[in-house]
Structure 1
Amino acid sequence: MAAITTDRLTKVYPGGVRALDEIDLTVEDGEFFALLGPSGCGKTTLLRTVAGLEESSGGSLHIGDVDVTRTPPGSRDVAMVFQDYALFPHMTVAENVAYPLRIKKVARAKRTEKAAATAGELGLSDYLERRPGQLSGGQQQRVALARAMACHPSVFLFDEPLSNLDARMRLEARTFLKRLQRELGVTTVFVTHDQAEALALADRIAVMESGRIRQLGTPSEVFRRPANTFVASFIGSTPMNLLDGVVRPRGIEVAGELLPTPPEPAGRLVDGEKVVYGIRPEYLVHSPTAVPGSLAGEVRVVENLGHAQLVTLEGPAGFVQLVVDEDTPVALGDRGFAVPRQDRALVYRDGELVTSGDPTGLAAAGASGTA
């Protein structure tokens, strides 16, 4: 096992496109680390650069104490599982799993034994003579994992390995991956655009945009205290409500309504300055009647989430979404009021987090900005 460290790692493609813009990052030894972001943000480029499949344009990359910035992929002691698994269709499961050992010129008997043992650990003993086309998506994924495990790498690299699975199988695969990584203790970097996967699997998450890390922190830090409005709008099963407001002595004025100001260090907010008031739909309480410090609106959309309802109100502040209990009677056209939880509100100035009402102490956790 080994840590991964980058120092001002840069990748510039022809035409001047900066896919990686001076990335400083440390993935700890044995950590399950997620790279999260929209398409084109640079997360897969970063993963491929760690693997050696892309050559960096500047900066350095260490795996453990070894500078591997210019080291060929085969000499980096990493194993990569691709989105489409990249299995050889003409080879059996046993042959696919043994392939990395074959490249390393391990004796045939030894690699056959090792491949069978590794496949057995992942429940593939009954499929050793089958070819990939005869397997389900979940079984193919396990073959790809077994192939990665066979050579005992220091680092696992996963490039969206769950994206080709159906919803139920994806949930099962998430549980399996988490348990397997904990048992093996191998440093793991997992690329995904699915925030639910990142929040469920990772010890820490780096949220990327335009080749930069916009926030680095634990899943709880990133979810509860997005460091900027980009992360706030990207993280969460429903986007955070981001409402234009003005600072007043006793609160934040949004569309003429005075909302409670989150607890804050003195002097951070200035009376009259323009800010953005952020509150997650989960932290708004529904009221059928007017309440001081609430956002009024007419119910425009009601979405059934199974365990709850996602309600969209349209009012003076624009569209505001809130999550209400599944048994709460809410109908289209109803008048409703969204009451913010003061301890969960956030305030942003120029796109960056100013203050937070989070009472858990995360404000001092250093979860902001770059890596």
Structure 2
Amino acid sequence: MRVALEAVTKVYDGDVRALDDLSLEIADGEFFALLGPSGCGKTTLLRTIAGLETATSGTVRIGERDVTRLPPGDRDVAMVFQDYALFPHMTVADNIAYPLRLKKVPRAERRAKAAGTAAGLSLGPYLDRRPAQLSGGQQQRVALARAMAARPTVFLLDEPLSNLDARLRLEARTFLKKLQHDLGVTTVFVTHDQAEALALADRIAVMEDGCVRQIGTPREVFQRPANIFVAGFIGSTPMNLLEGECVPGDGDPTSSWTDEIDVAGLRLPVPEEATGLVGPGDKVIAGFRPEYVQEAADGIEGRVEIVENLGTTSLVTLATSGPNVQLTVPEDREPAIGATMRVAPRPGRTLLYRADDGDLIEDY
């Protein structure tokens, strides 16, 4: 079922704007992630879709219905919370069947549906156990099974994996993606973990201060962040962001055009998509990911300050005359602390942002 928000604003205590004139559309059957740091408004947005919060202004639609003022029970959505919110005194079977009980489904039918849903999530052997007798991963699956049993038109997931240990999170992530694909139910997933969002979502909305800064596929937000906030937030290693200045073309001080940027003494070509949009003297920010940085004889010089082992690669932090520069190197090419390196981004891997507002410069 399609979900659409139009100019939604949520204000607390008169002046705290948790959501600020926010609009977005989630397609039917889409796995959509709301991603951002703590306090950016992503959980408030999820709760507004669920009806647990009421929008101060704006419209929330599920399918063709305006549900802005409808109570949660009339929206046909199911929500899975971060802490699972299972009833400790109930068995797994009763927890799963509870939404059906509220809908006055006959006992035998709801028991059968609970058993069928549990079997699909490998919970069959645990139907008579209580939540305290289950592992964190099993409790998470019970919470998902309870949401599934109600057969909602929209799943709302509020950081359901955050209480699991690292190994279990990876397993649960794979399971959750397959489950959503098999069910084809529109799913809105809140997380502050960008790796989780990149791995799971069909599209991502990156949020800051109650606003959406970029919406796109995982590949789009990773490869072409729309602004320096997204560039610094997305990726297991943040993008290098270095201040620079456009220089006159052909080295002629009187030239009115530019094809190079001076970044910490390194000359970088103006990216093709920014050609004609910047001129000599313009202040810009050059962005390039550590994964796309390589050693170069005429690159930016720096001293190795930190080397972090990431398994098959290592993240190297260089102290330069300006901001630090990070790059990843193969595990067998770790430099020594204190060593000197010269580095530069790979050709075609630099993005250009305006220094005044931080937005990506592109002719699209």
TM-score grouping bracket, smaller chain normalisation: over 0.9
Letter in 2 for 1:246: E
Q: Could you say what secondary structure the match of 2:273 adopts?
A: coil
Task: Name the counterpart of 1:320.
Answer: 325
Aligned to 2:271: 262
* Conserved? CA contact 1:92–1:129, under 8 Å: yes
Match of 2:280 among 254, 271, 274: 271
- Give the AA of the match of 1:83: Q
Give the drift of 1:212.
0.2
Distance 2:272 2:211 in 1: 30
Alpha carbons 1:198, 1:205 under 8 Å: kept: yes
The CA distance in 2 between the partners of 1:300 and 1:26, in whole Å, is 45
The whole-number CA distance in structure 2 between the counterparts of 1:217 and 1:259 is: 27
CA distance in 1, matches of 2:56, 2:94: 36
TM-score of the two chains, using structure 1 as the length reference: 0.93
Say which SS state the counterpart of residue 48 (structure 1) adopts.
helix
SS of match in other structure, 1:120: helix
The DSSP-based 3-state class of the residue aligned with 2:118 is helix
Label 1:312 to 1:16 Cα distance change in 2 as closer, same or farther (>3 A). Answer: same
Q: Does 1:333 align with 2:338?
A: yes
> Which residue in the other structure is 2:120 paired with?
121
Q: Distance in 2 between matches of 1:173 and 1:344?
A: 33
- 3-state SS, counterpart of residue 142 of structure 1: helix
Distance 1:242 1:203 in 2: 27
The equivalent residue for 1:369 is: none
The answer as to whether partners of 1:295 and 1:317 remain within 8 angstroms in 2 is no
Structure 2 residue 307 is the aligned partner of structure 1 residue 308? no
Q: CA deviation digits over 1:83-102, x for unaligned, max 9?
A: 00000000000000000000
Partner SS state of residue 264, structure 1: helix
Distance 1:14 1:329, change over 3 A: closer
The amino acid that maps onto 1:306 is G
Does the 8 Å CA contact 1:246/1:275 hold for their aligned counterparts? yes
* 8 Å Cα contact 1:257/1:295 also seen in 2: yes
Q: Does structure 1 residue 224 correspond to structure 2 residue 223?
A: yes
Q: Secondary structure at the match of 2:113?
A: helix
Q: Percent identity?
A: 65
SS in structure 1 at match of 2:360: strand
Range 335-344 or range 146-155, more displaced: 335-344
State the 1:42 CA deviation. Answer: 0.3
Superposition deviation, residue 232 in structure 1: 0.6
The DSSP-based 3-state class of the residue aligned with 2:272 is: coil
The structural deviation recorded for 1:266 is 3.6
AA at the equivalent of 2:100: L
Tell me if structure 2 keeps the 8 A contact 1:261–1:342: no
The yes-or-no answer on 1:66 pairing with 2:65 is: yes
- Supply the AA of the counterpart residue of 1:143: V
The corresponding residue for 2:254 is none
Q: Which residue of 1 aligns with 2:289?
A: 280
- Structure 1 gaps of 5+ residues are 356-362, 365-371
Whole-angstrom distance in 1 between the partners of 2:340 and 2:314:
16
Residues 19-42 of structure 1, C-alpha deviations (whole Å, 9 max, x = no match): 011111100000000000000000
2:274–2:361 Cα contact (<8 Å) kept: no
Asked if the contact 1:93–1:128 (Cα under 8 Å) also holds between the matched residues in 2, the reply is yes
Partner of 1:360: none
CA contact (8 A) 1:262 1:342 kept: no
Asked if 1 retains the 8 angstrom alpha-carbon contact of 2:314 and 2:334, the reply is no
User: Are residues 1:168 and 2:173 paired?
Assistant: no
Structure 1 runs (4+) deviating above 3 angstroms are: none
Counterparts of 1:83 and 1:316, CA distance in 2? 44
The corresponding residue for 2:157 is: 158
In the alignment, does 2:43 pair up with 1:48? no
Structure 1: which amino acid aligns with 2:350? A
In the aligned structure 2, how far is the partner of 1:325 from the partner of 1:262? Answer: 27
Opposite residue 122 of structure 1, the aligned amino acid is: L
Structure 1 range deviating more: 132-141 or 250-259: 250-259
- Give 3-state SS (helix, strand or coil) of 2:172's partner: helix
| AA at the equivalent of 1:247 | C
After TM superposition, the score normalised by the length of structure 2 is 0.95
- What per-residue deviation string (whole Å, max 9, x for no partner) do you get for residues 157-203 of structure 1? 00000000000000000000000000000000000000000000000
Paired position in structure 2 for 1:237? 236
Structure 1 residue 327, shift from structure 2 partner: 1.0
> Which amino acid in structure 2 is aligned with residue 140 of structure 1?
Q
Shift of 1:265: 4.9
Cα deviation, residue 339, structure 1? 1.8
Give yes or no for contact 1:53–1:73 (8 Å, CA) kept in 2: yes
Q: Report Cα offsets for 1:309-365 as digits up to 9, x if no partner.
A: 10011112321000011111410111101121121101100200013xxxxxxx75x
Identify the residue that residue 190 of structure 1 maps to in structure 2. 189
